[in-house]
A = this chain, B = another copy of it.
Amino acid sequence: MTVLVPYQALLSMVARIFADRGVPEERATIAATALCHGDLTGVSSHGLINLTRLYLPLLDRGRADPRANMVVQTDLGACVLADARRTLGLWSASQAMELACARASRHGIGLVSCRGATHIGCAGHHAARAVTHGMIGLLASNCGGQRIAPPPGGAAAMLGTNPLALACPAGDAHPFVLDMSTTVVPTGRVRAAARERRPIPPGWLAAEDGSPVTDAAAFDRGEARLLWLGGDPETGAYKGFGLGLLVEVLGALVPGAALGALSADGENDDDIGVMALAIAPELLRAGFAADAAALFAAVRDWPAQDPAAPVVYPGWYEGERAARRRARGVPVPEAVYDELSSALERKAG
């Protein structure tokens, strides 16, 4: 039921699918890398499964523009406002982080505040581009005008799942990559459980009266609401909601992208806002890289409650999986592989 596809072959296949729909070659490869990152690291809810469900429809319906260029609208040196002009978010979020790193290499810090983006895929992938420059990357992205989760005490959805990601070098070890929705889980994990008819743990979804819902399919039936990180007010739901608002402010209010709470229909994740922030700590002080390596080595060496379950930091298991799968191939569900093959044959719609 699973096909083991060599990583480079998978990348080429997806890049070809994007290129066949008018995405320039180099850009198609960058977008394919962002998409395959999900399956490479094991976050398959944000990977290839979304190609035919999300990204190709965006292109086919003209909601994403394969060829437009990002346009810088205000340039203050360390701080830039850009319009992604509906280009593939899988590409533009990486471009925004690269530009932020270029500015950080001169000013110590670089901020690219971007509106007009489309769905970016795994936020952590884009944040981690900073690590290849020896920098720290912070990425926040709202869900455009889409409303998914209600505020604590609210009767209707207000914000998206609003991902936040931070990546930091860890010496020769896998980088620290925190990549989190500000809700307890992203919708992709709920839908993956629904597809597999798996029950979900209490604490992800709640009925309107607040009682826990463990049937994942209840979410898309509109019978359950996604909870914010923290779960309920006594255990910090206001923090999760506050982090969702933090992402809305940094990611979308600053550049003037669509805001969930102010959108007309709350349906579409168009005009997404992205904040890409890079910090170049070695410009501030010598010794950062060594200290970062020591910090994350200490985390991995931390005494564990169960010696068989070592302490790790976010990004560690994803890094391990990616290394293994680059060498031995990426497992792709047969149904998803068939979708890729069909999309490759079908070419642009």
Contact = CB atoms under 8 A, between A and B. Distances in A.
Contacts of A304: 153-155
A42 interface: no
Nearest to A247: B166
Contact of A254 (B152, B176, B281): B281
A239 to B, nearest CB: 5
A74 B155 contact: no
A51 interface: no
Contacts of A234: 201, 203
A348 to B, nearest CB: 35
Contact of A176 (B153, B201, B245): B245
Interface string A125-146: 0000000000010100000000
Contacts of A287: 256
Interface string A298-334: 1100111110011101100000000000000000000
A25 interface: no
Given A79-B107, A178-B239, A178-B242, A158 B299 contact: yes
A256 B203 contact: no
Size category of the A interface is 35 or more
Contacts of A176: 245, 249
A108 B111 contact: yes
A314 B111 CA distance: 25
A151 B246 contact: no
Nearest to A275: B279
A253 B111 CA distance: 20
24 contacts: A74-B108, A74-B283, A74-B284, A76-B107, A76-B108, A76-B109, A79-B279, A81-B285, A109-B111, A136-B249, A136-B250, A153-B304, A156-B302, A166-B250, A178-B242, A184-B236, A185-B236, A203-B234, A229-B229, A229-B236, A229-B239, A230-B230, A242-B314, A254-B288
List 3 A-B pairs, minimum CB-CB distance, nearest first: A79-B108, A178-B242, A78-B78
Given A153-B311, A178-B242, 20 more contacts: A74-B285, A76-B284, A78-B108, A79-B108, A79-B109, A81-B284, A156-B303, A166-B242, A168-B253, A176-B245, A176-B249, A178-B246, A180-B236, A180-B243, A231-B235, A238-B314, A242-B313, A242-B314, A259-B295, A262-B295
